[in-house]
Structure 1
Amino acid sequence: MSDTHAETVAFVRDTMLPQQEPPASTVGFLGWSKTNLFTGPFNTIVTVLCSVFIVWLLWMLIPWLLSPTWNATSLGECREFLVAAGRVGEHGASGACWGVIRERWIQLLFGFYPADLYWRPILAFVLLFVALAPVLFSDKVPGRLLMFTMIYPFLFPWLLWGGTIWSPICAALGFVILFAGVKYLSGVIGQLASIIVSVLAAAAWWLFVSGAVQDALASILPLAIQSVPSRDFGGMMLSITIGVVAIACSLPLGIVLALGRRSDLLIVKSLCVGFIEFIRGVPLITLLFVASTLLNIFMPPGTSFDIILRVIIMATLFASAYMAEVIRGGLAALPKGQYEGADSLGLDYWQSQRLIIMPQALKISIPGIVSTFIGLFKDTTLVSVIGLLDPLGLTNSIRADQAWNGIVWELYGFIAVLFFIFCFGMSRYSMYLENRLKTDHR
């Protein structure tokens, strides 16, 4: 009997149950809310309190934002429009006065740059994204664009400031002298000596020869566009100009300082440590005051040193000190085996840094590097204290107009949105870059 029962009972299911939908409480928004917002009494209370606060904030903010004042030409007209629309509370007319943004948004973007030349900064910043594409998206952009990326640093200032075309060409020739000297002299006098000689030769070209050659070429073939003085720069154009140049220059300078701080050469290490600690111990606003008032004292008589260039130099030095510490942290995080592996391959110091050490250190340091970039870009608003008309500096001149005297939140809110767009873009790119360079498979 037991044998017969054993032969007739099936231990493997030969029919499938019909497929059923998952419980509604585990999928979709309801499931996500249960998992993330209502996992316990404490989380539930916090979620409810935060939801009430957000609803109250939106209830107060949205009517203020949706104000029918876009066509107003003064603060008084804004109040008249609000009264006509029934936006009158116990403290008077309530609502944003967006007329100031409609009337002054171009000034907030370009400052006092000549209106008929707006195409030049627009073209310069459009070409900026083209030049950055091979660097930011190297796997999706043709490598031939790298040639334009190398040309763009000389094209950018020429488009903004104008003048003769021979000025950026002569500046570029200095870098040609620098790289040619390093390439062809390293096998003759050694790598370090070739770098020193090439730097001195390039500096001599820029300081003593370039100006005469530029004037001679300009007299023979006067190719130039209208010059725009630095005092006409302002608005977001000024902030982007200072931020982009300082960001682009601070990263390589920070790498050099980080390597110098870890160097075994006592003099090099001492100089780098002294520079980093001094810059990090001084507020940026102090350096900007030095750039605006004291720097000309140490220049030869009659020397005209552009104020924006002075600010860019100080901002670059300030950011490079912080960048050096961020990169030094990435270098310190690498295991010793990476250095030993580079030595076992027979690579010299610079080859190991370029091919093995520095790529990994920069990958580790991406969050800190981008945070430094964002902080530097926001710090460009400090130039208003030395008389440059960045977006915040322009708000004072706008509010000095009797028609807009008393406008505050609308101007600051518009500027905050502009800065948020750029900073959020940098943050999202850093996340994209981290995911693209991720080598683990978790």
Structure 2
Amino acid sequence: MGDLATSPFVRQELIPERAAPVKVTGVVGFLRTRLFNSPTNILLTIASALLLWFTIVPAVKFLLIDAVWSGKDRTACLAQNAGHTVGACWPFIQAKFAQFIYGFYPEPERWRVNLTFLLAALLLLPLLIPRLPAKGLNAGLFFVAFPVVAFFLLLGGGLTGFGVSWTAGALSGFADGVSELGQKLSRAGEATAVIGPLLLLLGKLVGLVGWATSGLIWPLLWLNGQIHAFARPVWADLAATAVVVSLILFILNGGIRTGWRALVVSVATFAGIGIVIAVMGLDRGGLPIVDSGLWGGLLVTLVVSVTGIVSSMPIGIALALGRRSTIPLVRFFSVVFIEFWRGVPLITVLFFATYMLPLFLPGNFKIDGLVRALIGIALFSGAYIAEVIRGGLQAIPRGQSEAANAIGLSWWKTTGLIVMPQALRHVIPGLVNSFIGLFKDTSLVSIVALFDLLGSVHAAFADPVWATPTTLFTGFAFAGMIYFVFCFGMSRYSLFVENRLNAHRT
């Protein structure tokens, strides 16, 4: 037994060959592991392939293979003239391309739109490239200086005053309006027996507020009168505004000890504003005025979407912080504001801003129709952005704020330097999703007589010169491709930002 236990074993037959390992790399490996690795995935793969076959192939055939690429009118896009089944009528897009981009903007002035697009691209691209320096200066130019320059480029006109004149006019109008309201309440109190004394008291209080406001702003009104005594009041107003604002910033930032930097920045800013006024001739009437009713196409789409996106961010941040505030009045106002704007559809907001808002304004106070729509969209979108940002704020542990307080940071520094950057990083997908939705929702402005890209395409269908069976589909396909390019670009850039910010976690 011992010999058998210790004797070596020698196999007399070869071991059968093992099966080759399953390939998990390359195209075959991808198909085997991702598409055909289970009966369910096999069925989904086959269904998806059939869906793509019945959608992508007809679309490519319509847009490229059967498309008509040249022609002067509708006859080129008719099947009997083309000799085959006609797909997309691209001559229609070529003929209406300027209308799709500029709307009814006067042709001799379209260089102003092109210059605005160019300036926007030159200022936006450096902001999107992380490695480029001077982000603070670039952001200031894009978010502060560019909107003003774009406004006067697109709308035209010049300046009749500056900060002092506008402030004096606004406060004077407020005081007059309050005084008029007080008089109306007093007259209503005299005519009403039930609540007459209450209305009389309220009218006197409101009138007292108007009288006090008029008394407080008399130095500003006096300064405004002195400014308009000059031959060129715009420059006098600019100088007076620069002196007042610079002194206020100098004093608030520490005066002689630490306020010099704020003073230099303020003076440099007003000097840049003066250069812009001189170059654009805003003190001499500026460029010819182009009413916003003539704007249209991609111009309106970009103006509405970019203004809504940029302006909704600070509104959303303020409302999100207000909803988490410990001050009951601030929290109550933020909650009511958010829930109100989230509770009404955007179409209702646009209708109210366009047709109802002018009924509530004083007779001598008018707001441009496009500006009214922009304000409504900004407030509407800001309410949704607020909830997205509030979700990011709730994801930040309380220990972050407590640690900042422990080292002596104020609430503003804690929020701006510690809490908010982390919260915004967490909600990048939600923010970009809201921005994409807002960009596509700009097509709703066509309901209130603002012809955006989709509205201009729809208006072009009424031209009998291009009335063909495929014109409608060609126009919508063109608009869809433009929307897709912008939305896909925002989506991919958000993924780039996410990967860059989360690189340290991998």
TM-score, normalised to structure 2, is 0.70
Q: Distance in 2 between matches of 1:247 and 1:392?
A: 19
**Partner Cα distance (1:229, 1:275) in 2:** 32
Q: Which residue of 1 aligns with 2:157?
A: 163
CA distance in 2, matches of 1:253, 1:278: 15
Partner of 1:74: 73
* Deviation per residue, 1:117-163 (Å, 9 max, x gap): 22211221221133234543343244453453342121121111122
1:367 aligns with 2:429: yes
Runs of 5+ consecutive residues of structure 1 not aligned to the other structure:
1-21, 88-92, 189-213
Task: Find the counterpart in structure 2 of residue 419 from structure 1.
Answer: 483
Identical-pair percentage: 38
When residues 313 and 168 of structure 1 are mapped into structure 2, their CA distance, relative to the original with a 3 A threshold, is: farther
What amino acid sits opposite 1:437 in the alignment?
L
Counterpart of 1:117 in structure 2 is 109
**Aligned-partner SS, 2:362:** coil
CA gap 1:409/1:179 in 2 versus in 1, 3 angstroms: farther
Q: CA distance change for structure 1 residues 59 and 225 in 2, over 3 Å: closer, same or farther? A: same
2:367 is equivalent to residue 289 of structure 1: no
Q: Is the 8 A contact 2:309 2:378 kept in 1?
A: yes
Counterparts in 2 of 1:314 and 1:38: CA distance versus 1, 3 Å: same
- Is 2:417 aligned against 1:355? yes
Q: Which has the larger radius of gyration?
A: 2
Distance 1:364 1:315 in 2: 25
- Aligned residues of 2:77 and 2:86 also touching (Cα < 8 A): no
Aligned residues: 386
Partner of 1:262: 324
Give 1:152's aligned amino acid.
Answer: F
What do the CA deviations read for 1:61-98 (whole angstroms, capped 9, x no partner)? 3222223422233334311xx335542xxxxx442222
Q: Which amino acid aligns with 1:330?
A: G
Deviation at 1:108, TM superposition (A): 0.8
Aligned counterpart for 2:31 among listed residues 16, 33, 37: 33
| Alpha-carbon distance in structure 1 between the residues aligned to 2:501 and 2:246 | 30
Report SS of the residue matched to 1:33: helix
Q: Structure 1 CA distance, aligned partners of 2:80 and 2:248? A: 73
Contact 2:105–2:290, Cα closer than 8 Å, also in 1: yes
Offset, 1:332:
0.5
- Look up the equivalent residue of 2:388 and give its one-letter code: V
Q: Distance in 2 between matches of 1:58 and 1:287?
A: 37
Q: 1:50 aligns with which of 40, 48, 51?
A: 48
**Structure 2 letter corresponding to 1:317:** L
- CA displacement at 1:165 relative to structure 2: 6.0
Paired residue secondary structure (1:225): coil
**Is the 1:334–1:361 contact (alpha carbons within 8 Å) kept by the matching residues of 2?**
yes
Task: Name structure 2 gaps, 5 residues minimum.
Answer: 1-19, 167-236, 256-276
| Aligned 8 A contact 2:301 2:442 in 1 | yes
Aligned to 1:201: none
1:349-401 Cα distance to aligned partner (Å, 9 max, x none): 10100110000011111111111111111111001111111122223321211
Is the counterpart of residue 432 in structure 1 residue 496 in structure 2?
Answer: yes
Q: Distance in 2 between matches of 1:176 and 1:38?
A: 74
Separation of aligned partners in 2, 1:177 and 1:156: 26
The 3 A distance-change label for structure 1 pair 29 and 165 is farther
In 2, the alpha carbon distance for the partners of 1:419 and 1:413 equals 10
Q: In structure 2, do the counterparts of structure 1 residues 141 and 289 end up closer, same or farther at CA, with 3 Å as the change threshold?
A: same
Moved more, 386-395 or 366-375: 386-395
CA distance in 2, matches of 1:429, 1:176: 42
Residue identity opposite 2:495 in structure 1 = M
User: Displacement of 1:236 after TM fit?
Assistant: 1.0
Q: C-alpha deviations, 1:211-269, integer Å up to 9, x for none?
A: xxx9xx989x4161222110110001101001111111100111001001100111111
Give the whole-Å Cα distance in 2 for the aligned partners of 1:177 and 1:420.
48
Say if 1:59 and 1:138 are closer, same or farther in 2 by CA, change over 3 A. closer
User: Is 1:152 aligned with 2:115?
Assistant: no
Structure-2 separation of matches of 1:27 and 1:168: 68
Letter in 1 for 2:138: L
Note if 1:229 corresponds to 2:221: no
The equivalent residue for 1:239 is 301
Residue 176 to residue 441, structure 1, CA distance change in 2 (3 Å): farther
What amino acid sits opposite 1:370 in the alignment?
A: V
Structure 2 Cα separation of the partners of residues 153 and 292 of structure 1: 22
Q: 1:227 to 1:75 in 2, by over 3 A?
A: same
Cα distance in 2 for partners of 1:67, 1:183 equals 69
Give the alignment of 1:22-421 within 5 angstroms: 25-65=23-63, 66-79=65-78, 82-87=79-84, 93-143=85-135, 144-149=137-142, 150-164=144-158, 181=248, 184-185=251-252, 221-222=283-284, 224-405=286-467, 407-421=471-485
Supply the RMSD in Å over aligned alpha carbons.
2.9
Q: Do the aligned residues in 1 keep the contact of 2:68 with 2:89 (CA within 8 Å)?
A: yes
